[in-house]
Amino acid sequence: MERKVLFDLDGTLMTGDYHSTESKYFTELYGDKAYNVLDGLVKYLDEYEHRFKRYEIDVLSRFLTDKAGFLISEKDINGWIECTAEIDNVLEDGIIDVLEYFQSQRYTLGVLTNWVKRAQEKRLINMGIRDYFSELYTGDIVLKPHLETYYMAIGKYPKEKCVIIGDNSEKDYGVPMSIGINSYLYDKKDKYPEITKNKVKKLNEIIL
């Protein structure tokens, strides 16, 4: 039986210290002006991901330049991506048990993440879990929450034979559930008390 499980990366497979790395990088580049980028960066990227269907360096440069009010060059974007590849990471509790279980059950394992491949693949390698995954769907190819992203990621597999696991209530749970893909919301801090179906506080609850 052909089955697939797709994992979000940030906040699901691992948690990374973006804040320290990005603060240092942008402050060294822009000095006091870095606040214009850092203060709204999460919000800006979420807006980008809803407006555009993949991360393109030139498009992201223009988008962030408009938001910050000064030039965020393509060179600066590329440097930022390289920095995020080397951030300090911690694997989420129980994730190895979950990966081992799905692998033992002969699922195809994939990663569905909204950041770019050269950063995210390096982080998977650094944390020793790259070899679990035969497929990587990254933000320079497709972006959640666009519907075509999920259809591309499940590929030839029937929706009812696929599972998505992630920590974002819209991108990893709400949208894929709305199109018939079974999804689990990893909500370890109970950020979404209104959601009860397929919600876990510990990843190994999925396999128990």
Residue in the block written with tokens 């048990």: 97
Domain boundaries, the chain: 4-15+90-206, 18-84
Written as six digits, the tokens of 130 are 């790259």
- Dihedral of the CA atoms 169, 35, 63, 137 (nearest 10)? -40
Check residue 15 and give left, alpha or beta (phi > 0: left; psi -120 to 50: alpha). Answer: beta
Instruction: Please give the pLDDT value at position 195.
Output: 97
Please report, in tens digits, the pLDDT of each residue of the chain (208 residues total). 589 999 999 999 999 999 999 999 999 999 999 999 999 999 999 999 999 999 999 999 999 999 999 999 999 999 999 999 999 999 999 999 999 999 999 999 999 999 999 999 999 999 999 999 999 999 999 999 999 999 999 999 999 999 999 999 999 999 999 999 999 999 999 999 999 999 999 999 999 7
Rounded CA separation 116/104 (Å):
29
Strands 89-91 and 14-16, sheet pairing? antiparallel
Instruction: Please give the pLDDT value at position 98.
Output: 97
Rounded CA separation 161/159 (Å):
5
Rounded CA separation 167/193 (Å):
13
Q: Residue 203 in contact with residue 99, Cβ under 8 Å?
A: no
**Size (the chain), residues:** 208
The correct answer on CATH 3.40.50.2300 for the domain covering 4-15+90-206 is: no
